[in-house]
Chain A
Amino acid sequence: MTIVVSEDDEDADYSPFAFLETTVKNDILNVSHDYRYQKMGYYVSMHAELCGCNVTPRCSDILDTHRNPLLMIRASRAGIPCLPYRLVAGDERNMGCPALCFAVNPYTCNSVTQVKTESQLYRTLKSLSVNNRYPVSVQPLVGEVKEAVQVFGETDVPEARSIAKKFYETFRIPIGKLIVQMVDGEAKLCHFEPTTKKEVDWALVRDKVHAVKCH
C-alpha cells in the first residue's frame, strides 16, 4: 500500500507536518512542489527513510538533482542528453561566452543566468559564488533556453518530453522544473530547480496520484 504525503489536501493521506509525527512502515509517495534541503518536502522523505520505508523520491536523489554537477554526472550516465559543464572556483579567465551559469551555493534558488559578455560573466560569477565562497557551474549557451515543469515525467513543453520522462525514470522526483537548451533541434538538460506552487498543474498531479493509489 502506498501512503501519499502531499501539501495538496485533496488526495493526501497525511499533510507533510502530520507525517513527521507518525511511524509508518509502508511505501510512501511524497508529493511536493519543493524538495530542497531544509524544506518540508525533503524532511518527509528523510523521515520515511528513517522509518525504514521505501519512499519516492529518495533523499540521495533529491540532493543529487539539486546540485548541478551531481545532476549532470548522473543524468549523463542515465543516457539523458546533457550539455558539458565546468565548475568554476575563484577568479578564472577566458571561460568563453555566451554562457549559462548556475549557483552551487546553499542560498540561491532560480539562479539560471544567461551571460553574453566576459564582464557580465565575472559579475555573475561573483554574485552566484557569494564572493568566491562556492563554485559555480558554467555551461556553454548554444541554444534557446526553455523551462519545462515536469509532473511525474510529463510536461507540456513538447521539446522536453523525452527528457522529462527519462528524468523521472532516473530520479523519481514527482514535481520539478527542468532547464533545457535546444541545440540543433534536440533538447539537452542543463539544470533542475524546484517549482512554485502555482506553476504546478495540480489536476494532473491528482490524476497521477489516483493512478498510483489504484495500482
Chain B
Amino acid sequence: MKIGCFVEKYSFHTREEATALDRFKRAAEAKGHLFEYIFKRDMDRIPEYDAVFIRATTDPMNTAYVVSRMADALGKVVIDDPHSIRVCSSKVVLDDLFRQNGIPSPKSLLFAGDFGEENLRHVFEYLGFPLVLKAPYTKFSSHVEKAHDGAEFRLIAARYLKNATPIVLQEYMPSGFDWRVGMLDNKILYLCKYYMPRGGWKVRSLVDGKNQWGRVVPILRKNAPKKLEELAVNVSKCVGDGLYGLDVKEIDGRFFCIEINDNPSFYADLEDGKDPDLYEKIIDRLTSGRPVKPGTYRLNEES
C-alpha cells in the first residue's frame, strides 16, 4: 500500500524526531509498503495514497487539518482524522468532554472575560491560588501559566483572551511528573513518565529565563498501573479508536486526566524506548483499511 506521511520542515528539526520518522518509514517498507513524505506543496497528490499519516501540528486552523479533512473526504485511512483533531485540539472542548463523561480531571472553569468583582471572587474561591490559566490552543505546555494572585490573573487572562474566548482555568495540581499514555485502538501502545525540569512545574518550563524540557523515562506498557490503564481506555473511547497521547497526573494513588492529544510526538529512544513495536503497530493500523471511528461522543459529520 502507499502511505503518505504529511510533514512540515519543523518535523525534522531535532535528530530524535527525524530518526523516529525514519523508523516509521523503515517499518512500512519492511512490510512491503511505500512510505513517502508529503509537504504542503504536495497536497494535490493526496488522492494517490491509500493512507495518510500526519506528523505536523494538527490544529484545525493549520494546514494539517486541511490535509486530514481532504484525506478523510476521499475515504483514505487517516491518522489523525478530522474528528479527533476537532475534539483534542482545543482545551475548551476537552474540558467539556471530561465534564460530559465524568472523567476525573482537575477542577476547572471556563472564563470569557467577566472581570467583575463577584465573578472573580467566585473563581478564586473555587480554584484557589495559585491557579492555572490555559489558552485553548496550548501545545507542549506553551500558553499555560500559573497566577499567584488576582493581579497576575488579570494580566495573563487579558493576554490570552485577545486570541481566544473563552479560556480554561484549572486548580493547580503539583506533581513531579505526568504520565504520558500512548493509545491506539483503545489499547496502550506505549507508556512514559514526562518529568518536570528541575525548578519548573510543567514538562517544558521557563527556568532561569530559558525554556527547558524535563527527562522522559519510558516504561514497559505492560507495567501500567491498572487504574491508569482504565482511565486511559475510558478517555480514548470518548474520542475514537485512533492514535492519542494522554497526559495524566497521579496524586496519592489517584489519576487525573489533564488532556488527550491527537498527533502525539515520537522521539527516537524515548516513546519507543521500551516498546519499539509501536512503529509496526501504527503502520498496521494505517494499512488495515479501517478508518478511525469516532468515539462515544460522535460529532456530526457531513452526511
- Does B35 reach chain A (CB closer than 8 Å)? no
Given contacts A87-B43, A105-B61, contact A20 B300 (CB under 8 A): no
Q: Out of A59, A87, A90, which one reaches B86, CB within 8 Å? A: A59
- Does A185 reach chain B (CB closer than 8 Å)? no
A74 closest partner in B (C-beta): B302
Given contacts A17-B166, A70-B70, contact A50 B60 (CB under 8 A): no
When the two chains form their complex, are residues A40 and B40 in contact, meaning their CB atoms are under 8 A apart?
Answer: no
When the two chains form their complex, are residues A49 and B299 in contact, meaning their CB atoms are under 8 A apart?
Answer: yes
Q: Out of B65, B165, B302, which one reaches A39, CB within 8 Å? A: B165
- Does B245 reach chain A (CB closer than 8 Å)? no
Chain A residues lying within 8 Å of B61, measured Cβ to Cβ, are: 37-38, 105-106
Q: Out of A51, A60, A67, A73, which one reaches B100, CB within 8 Å? A: A51
- Does A64 reach chain B (CB closer than 8 Å)? yes
CA distance A90 to B40 in the complex (A): 9
When the two chains form their complex, are residues A43 and B63 in contact, meaning their CB atoms are under 8 A apart?
Answer: no
Interface residues of B in 80-111 (CB under 8 A from A): 82, 86, 90, 92-93, 96-97, 100, 110
Interface residues of A in 1-31 (CB under 8 A from B): 17, 20-21, 23
Instruction: Determine how close the nearest CB of chain B comes to the CB of A194; give it in whole angstroms.
Output: 13
- Does B66 reach chain A (CB closer than 8 Å)? yes
When the two chains form their complex, are residues A106 and B59 in contact, meaning their CB atoms are under 8 A apart?
Answer: yes
Instruction: Determine how close the nearest CB of chain A comes to the CB of B253; give it in whole angstroms.
Output: 30
Interface residues of B in 148-172 (CB under 8 A from A): 163-166
A56 closest partner in B (C-beta): B300
When the two chains form their complex, are residues B63 and A104 in contact, meaning their CB atoms are under 8 A apart?
Answer: yes
CA distance A87 to B166 in the complex (A): 32
When the two chains form their complex, are residues A89 and B39 in contact, meaning their CB atoms are under 8 A apart?
Answer: yes
- Does A168 reach chain B (CB closer than 8 Å)? no
- Does B73 reach chain A (CB closer than 8 Å)? yes
When the two chains form their complex, are residues B300 and A43 in contact, meaning their CB atoms are under 8 A apart?
Answer: no
Chain A residues lying within 8 Å of B165, measured Cβ to Cβ, are: 38-40
When the two chains form their complex, are residues A60 and B301 in contact, meaning their CB atoms are under 8 A apart?
Answer: yes
Please, how many residues of chain A have a CB less than 8 angstroms from a CB on the other chain?
Answer: 36
Instruction: Determine how close the nearest CB of chain B comes to the CB of A171; give it in whole angstroms.
Output: 10
Instruction: Determine how close the nearest CB of chain B comes to the CB of A23; give it in whole angstroms.
Output: 7
Number of A-B contacts (CB under 8 A): 100
Q: Out of B41, B59, B82, B90, which one reaches A90, CB within 8 Å? A: B41
Chain B residues lying within 8 Å of A49, measured Cβ to Cβ, are: 297, 299-300
Given contacts A17-B166, A39-B165, A64-B69, contact A50 B97 (CB under 8 A): yes
CA distance A87 to B73 in the complex (A): 18
Instruction: Determine how close the nearest CB of chain B comes to the CB of A25; give it in whole angstroms.
Output: 12
CA distance A1 to B69 in the complex (A): 32
Interface residues of B in 42-71 (CB under 8 A from A): 43-44, 59-63, 65-66, 69-70
- Does B136 reach chain A (CB closer than 8 Å)? yes
Interface residues of B in 14-49 (CB under 8 A from A): 39-41, 43-44
Instruction: Determine how close the nearest CB of chain A comes to the CB of B287; give it in whole angstroms.
Output: 26
- Does A69 reach chain B (CB closer than 8 Å)? yes
Chain A residues lying within 8 Å of B82, measured Cβ to Cβ, are: 60, 63
B69 closest partner in A (C-beta): A70
Given contacts A89-B40, A89-B41, A106-B62, contact A50 B163 (CB under 8 A): no
- Does A55 reach chain B (CB closer than 8 Å)? yes
Chain A residues lying within 8 Å of B112, measured Cβ to Cβ, are: 17, 40
A132 closest partner in B (C-beta): B40
When the two chains form their complex, are residues B166 and A20 in contact, meaning their CB atoms are under 8 A apart?
Answer: yes
- Does A47 reach chain B (CB closer than 8 Å)? yes
- Does A135 reach chain B (CB closer than 8 Å)? yes
When the two chains form their complex, are residues A50 and B73 in contact, meaning their CB atoms are under 8 A apart?
Answer: no
Q: Out of B65, B100, B136, which one reaches A50, CB within 8 Å? A: B100
Interface residues of A in 90-113 (CB under 8 A from B): 90, 104-106
Q: B residues engaging A (CB < 8 A)?
A: 39-41, 43-44, 59-63, 65-66, 69-70, 73, 82, 86, 90, 92-93, 96-97, 100, 110, 112, 136-137, 163-166, 297, 299-302
**Extra pairs beyond A20-B96, A43-B90, A69-B43 (19, CB < 8 Å):** A20-B110, A37-B60, A37-B90, A38-B164, A46-B96, A50-B97, A50-B100, A51-B100, A54-B300, A58-B299, A60-B86, A60-B301, A63-B60, A63-B86, A69-B70, A73-B70, A73-B73, A134-B40, A134-B62
Pairs of residues from A and B, 7 with the lowest C-beta to C-beta distance, nearest first: A106-B61, A89-B40, A38-B164, A58-B300, A49-B299, A89-B41, A17-B112
Q: 19 A–B contact pairs at CB < 8 A?
A: A37-B90, A38-B163, A43-B166, A49-B299, A50-B93, A58-B300, A60-B302, A61-B302, A63-B60, A67-B66, A67-B69, A74-B302, A89-B39, A89-B40, A89-B43, A90-B40, A105-B61, A106-B59, A135-B43
